[in-house]
Amino acid sequence: MEDFRDRLASVRERVTAAARRSGRSPDSVGLVAVTKTVPAGRIGEAMRHGLSVFGENRVQEARRKAEEVGPGATWHLVGHLQRNKARDAARIFRMIHSVDSAALLEELDHHAGAAESPLEVLIQVNLAGEATKHGAREEQVPSILEAASRSRHVGVKGLMILPPYDPDPGKSRRYFRGLAEMAERIRGEVIENVAMRELSMGMSEDFEVAVEEGATLIRIGRALFGERPPKKGEEG
């Protein structure tokens, strides 16, 4: 428990310093604690230290943990979502960070009417054009926004990015800045059901750079919970 408290304090201190370097309030940055492979007991520990927003990569794992953890936790989907999982995702998650097509948004809208409150989503943008990563290409974003303008139960609240990995976190800066600039352009278009309120960018290795470039949501796993244990057959 002491290890987690220290890790959380370190992350918060680093967020505060990065926000102040860019003239922002630290309170403008939300922390999504990414709990992929983290057991429910450790999530409960995180809640006792004041965290309440948790990010999962898979719908099935999130469903199980939501049942085990119980009330008080808010769940975000930060991993890729297949259309055939949209019904369950719309019921489990408060926000989905990874919408990357008009078809997926429409599928979520179809199912989100059964949820207790409107579903908030972010558009994942693949600005680097990496073939190995999910995310809409820049030229595909307008079609997703158009679908959002027709939706009844889904609202686009911003953008998300997963930049190319580089051991130098400064190399991510141009992608974070590009996403912020895209959000600003979209904000000026005034589209129904679209509000560029959130920028989900930055993980354990580069969140300070992301905060400097305007991140409002950072997705932190390893810096809070330590290294993820390797799966069977996976090298550590």
- What is the per-residue pLDDT across 14-71, written as a single tens digit (0 to 9) for each? 999 999 999 999 999 999 999 999 999 999 999 999 999 999 999 999 999 999 999 9
Find the mean pLDDT for residues 176-191.
97
- pTM of structure: 0.94
The three-state (H, E, C) secondary structure of 128-155, written as one string: CCCCCCCCECHHHHHHHHHHHHHCCCEE
pLDDT greater than 80 at residue 115: no
- What pLDDT shows up at residue 211? 98
The identity of residue 163, as a single letter, is P
pLDDT greater than 80 at residue 101: yes
What percent of the chain is modeled with pLDDT above 70? 96
- What pLDDT shows up at residue 233? 42
pLDDT greater than 80 at residue 199: yes
Sign, CA torsion 110/115/121/124: negative
Over the stretch 219-235, which tens digit does the pLDDT of each residue have? Answer: 999 999 998 765 544 33
**Domain architecture of the chain: domains with CATH:** 2-225 (3.20.20.10)
Q: Which residues of 151-174 are buried (b: 16+ CB within 10 A; e: fewer)?
A: bebbbbbbbbbbbeeeeebeebbe
DSSP secondary structure string for all residues of 166-217: -SSGGGGHHHHHHHHHHHHHHHTT--TTEEEEEEE---TTTHHHHHHTT-SE
- What pLDDT shows up at residue 117? 79
Q: Which residue has the tokens 């809208």?
A: 109
pLDDT greater than 70 at residue 1: no
